[in-house]
Structure 1
Amino acid sequence: MIKVVIVEDEINARNSLKKLLSLLNSDIEIVGETGYVSEALQLLSTQEVDLVFLDVRLEDGTGLDILEQLEDVSFKIIFTTAYDQYAINAFKYSATDYLLKPLDPLELDEAIKKAQSSIENEKQRQELLEVLKNNLAKKEAQIVVKTTEQQYILKLQDIVRLEADAAYTVFITIESRIIASKNLRHYQEMLSEDFVRCHQSHLVNMKHVKSLYKGKFLKMTNDDLVAISTRKRSDIISLLDRN
């Protein structure tokens, strides 16, 4: 039996989540619910909890306030949030589980199954939470990059470019090369407007572009030459002119 606590300040949203949980999974026991930081701290300090559905914004603070005040965060967390593009990007960058309200039953079911089957490494979980807090606080933006063996936390400003390698992506930073286990399109959709697809195989950080070389290449701050496709050439030149 999965012991669940729901921390959600909207009564309708809370009731909807409880109803969906009862319909989707009979192995869930809701051991507590609240919409307040103070009450959530009391619940999570005294109850044995496996999974918490945690709203980002609450009546008297945020879900992150709860995590910062707890001495031990040993439970799985699924954040819930209303549609906010900045918050969504923060969750994506930090690779933290989240659901958009109103909740989609299929997405909720998938999230529950993932929570059931995953045994997260404690160090990795803490790193993901730190990246999330950093991104939500609008500090220096970071992204979690996972390889087949481990995860890396990169500052966006340190990424020079990304290069497609079949189903993988090579991150070239100012200090290293990392082969990530997602394709280039995945990161193109995730990263900010500073990252531009100049070729089917290349995504560049425009802040690291030094110059246009021979009209066919971008010279990067690490002196790499990155090809520009014919189709993208006029768009890239326009961007360079604006900068």
Structure 2
Amino acid sequence: MIKAVIIDDEINAQSLLEKTLDRYLPNRVNIVAKCNGVDAGVLAIKKHEPDLVFLDIQMPEKNGFELFKYFKVIKFEVIFTTAYDKFGIKAIKRSALDYLLKPINHLELAEAIRKYEKKDEGNSAQRKLSLLLENLNVNDQNVSKIAFPTLEGFELIHTNQILYCKAESNYCRIKKIDSTAKLASKTLKFVEELLPVNSFNRIHKSYVINLNYVVRYNKADKEIELTNGEKLPVSFRKEEEFINAILQDH
């Protein structure tokens, strides 16, 4: 059974999460402590050494992200819970961490627990949370690293190493400037949402490109050429948006 701690300043939210777990995931999760803030949560984690922490983000005294300052080594996994769908969510997604939006849906909760149970041991909480803190400390438009989900776990890639991303059915191939490629186990749309919008642009239903590596645009052929010599198509529907992007920022 998974040993878990809930950290949330709302007593009703604590109770609802515990009841939802009991009802829909019986005998899967044992809640060993419920805390109403970061300080109490730190004490509970050190006392009970849980496998999993359900952590609210927006709390009055200290925000949930501050919890990690109190641990040199993080041995527990985290599922963030929040009513604020924009507060830190991009940084959480970029770090391959799980989150649930309030009010918590029991199906999404079950999926989060399933993912925890199937987690790759190589995807340590320490690595993911270190990446989260790094992503929180940079401007949202200039994210340094993103953790892309793969079939094996996740791949950490600097955004400035990405040349373009290509849709491959329900997967996405990430082409890097060193000519290597990584296959993300998510759709191009999912990957696009992780990328900083000031550097990346969707030019076609199958391609998102890094604007920093565009060498030229052939308007007649509707093709761009990248620094590695590759040529990619620009769709008619995306042409105006693409031209505006390169004229505005480049």
In the alignment, structure 2 segments of 5+ residues that lack a partner are: none
Aligned to 2:209: 204
Cα drift, residue 78 of structure 1: 0.9
Whether 1:179 and 2:183 are equivalent positions in the alignment is yes
- In structure 2, give the amino acid aligned to 1:209: V
Give 1:6 shift: 0.7
Q: TM-score, normalised by structure 1?
A: 0.86
Q: Check the 8 A contact 1:168/1:180 in 2, yes or no.
A: yes
Farther off after superposition, 219-228 or 33-42: 219-228
- Contact 1:45–1:70 (CA under 8 A) maintained in structure 2: no
Q: Which amino acid counterpart does residue 172 of structure 1 have in structure 2?
A: K
Q: Which of the residues 147, 165, 168 maps onto 2:168?
A: 165
| 1:6 match | 6
Q: What is the 5 A alignment of 1:110-149?
A: 110-115=111-116, 117-122=117-122, 124-138=124-138, 140-141=142-143, 142-149=145-152
Matched residues in 2 for 1:114 and 1:151: separation? 13
1:226 aligned residue: 232
CA contact (8 A) 1:35 1:59 kept: no
CA shift for structure 1 position 18:
2.2
Say whether 1:65 aligns with 2:70: no
Conserved in 2, the CA contact under 8 Å of 1:146 and 1:152? yes
User: What is the match of residue 191 of structure 1?
Assistant: 195
- What residue is the counterpart of 2:32 in the other structure? 31
Identity of aligned residues (%): 34
CA apart distance, 1:43: 1.0
Structure 1 gap segments, 5+ residues each: none
1-structure distance, mates of 2:125, 2:46: 19
Aligned residues: 242
DSSP 3-state at the match of 1:161: strand
- The alignment's C-alpha RMSD in Å is 2.4
Quote the Cα distance in structure 2 between the aligned partners of 1:23 and 1:168.
Answer: 34
Shift of 1:81: 1.8
CA contact under 8 A between 2:75 and 2:125: conserved in structure 1?
Answer: no
In structure 2, what is the Cα distance between the partners aligned to 1:86 and 1:211? 37
Q: Greater shift after overlay, 41-50 or 131-140?
A: 131-140
**Deviation of the 1:5 alpha carbon:** 1.0
Contact 2:164–2:175 under 8 Å retained in 1 = yes
Distance 1:22 1:147, change over 3 A: closer
The superposition leaves residues 150-197 of structure 1 with CA deviations (integer Å, 9 ceiling, x where unpaired) of: 532112233221123344322122233223233323323443423222
Deviations 1:35-86 (A, max 9, x none): 2222212111111422211112334323333223224432232111222425
Q: Give me the whole-angstrom Cα distance separating, in 2, the residues matched to 1:225 and 1:119.
A: 38
- Normalising by the residue count of structure 2, what TM-score does the alignment of the two structures yield? 0.84
Deviation at 1:25, TM superposition (A): 2.6
Distance across 2 between alignment mates of 1:171 and 1:98 = 24
Cα shift readout 1:4-37 (whole Å, capped 9, x = no counterpart): 2111112222222222222223313321111222
CA distance in 1, matches of 2:184, 2:17: 34
DSSP 3-state at the match of 1:231: helix
Letter in 1 for 2:212: K
Is it true that 1:242 corresponds to 2:248 in the alignment?
Answer: yes
Aligned-partner SS, 1:103: coil
**Residues 29, 145 of structure 1: alpha-carbon distance in 2 compared, 3 angstrom cutoff:** closer
Q: Find the aligned partners of 1:119 and 1:169 in 2 and give their Cα distance.
A: 21
